[in-house]
Structure 1
Amino acid sequence: WLRLDGGLTWDADDAANQIEEVFRHELAIGYETRLLAPGDIAAVTPGVDANAVSPQGAIFNAGEGWVDLPSLIGLLLSEFRDRGGRILTDAGSTDVTLANSRA
């Protein structure tokens, strides 16, 4: 449910393309970044069609990732139940009640 194997982004193939400016900005702020030519993308992110990437290239950020929320929610709900939690569905609106700084 959690993957941290990088993110790839590119810009349109027109005068508004700012991929090199974004890359330089990321470098300037110390962000982990690589500017890749379309032909170099397969070595970093297999399965991406290099023909879909504009000729200006793409940025690969190795430290980025994604969360599969349905899988994570299922895991958390299962753990909640295993620890004695009870899930009420279709119960209408609710509020959190605080007592002695505890919910």
Structure 2
Amino acid sequence: LTWDADDAANQIEEIFRHEQSIGYQTRLLAPGDVAAVTTGVDARVVSPQGAIFNAGEGWVDLPSLIGLLLGEFRDRGGRILTDAGSADVTLA
């Protein structure tokens, strides 16, 4: 969910039309309609021009994900070397 400032520079409708033109999964929502698609957003903070909702997107807390993946790597016998210098990926 994203919205733009409530001023002359607001481009939310143009961005929405562009996303539509390239086949992106997008919805332009009035502030009062935001709660119907996502929780926890106070509609009063969404600019009157509306918000774009992209249902196919998500976010990840990268430090938590890295910690989880490193833990799984260790559990499977992996060894982590730090401060080892440059590394390259070699495909066999």
**Residues 1-103 of structure 1: matches in 2 within 5 Å?**
8-89=1-82, 92-96=83-87, 101=90
> Stretches of 4+ moved more than 4 A in 1?
none
Q: CA RMSD in A?
A: 2.0
Report deviation, 1:33: 0.4
Please give the alpha-carbon distance, in whole angstroms, between the structure 2 residues aligned to 1:97 and 1:52.
Answer: 46
Structure 2: segments with no counterpart, 5+ residues: none
The percent identity for this pair of structures is: 80
**Structure 1 length as normaliser, TM-score?**
0.78
Deviations 1:63-91 (A, max 9, x none): 010112122112211121122222244xx
Please give the alpha-carbon distance, in whole angstroms, between the structure 2 residues aligned to 1:46 and 1:96.
Answer: 43
- Larger % of strand: which? 1
Change (3 A) 1:97 1:62: closer
Return the structure number with greater relative CO, CA threshold 8 A, min gap 6.
Answer: 1
Please give the alpha-carbon distance, in whole angstroms, between the structure 2 residues aligned to 1:26 and 1:88.
Answer: 43
**Structure 2 length as normaliser, TM-score?**
0.87
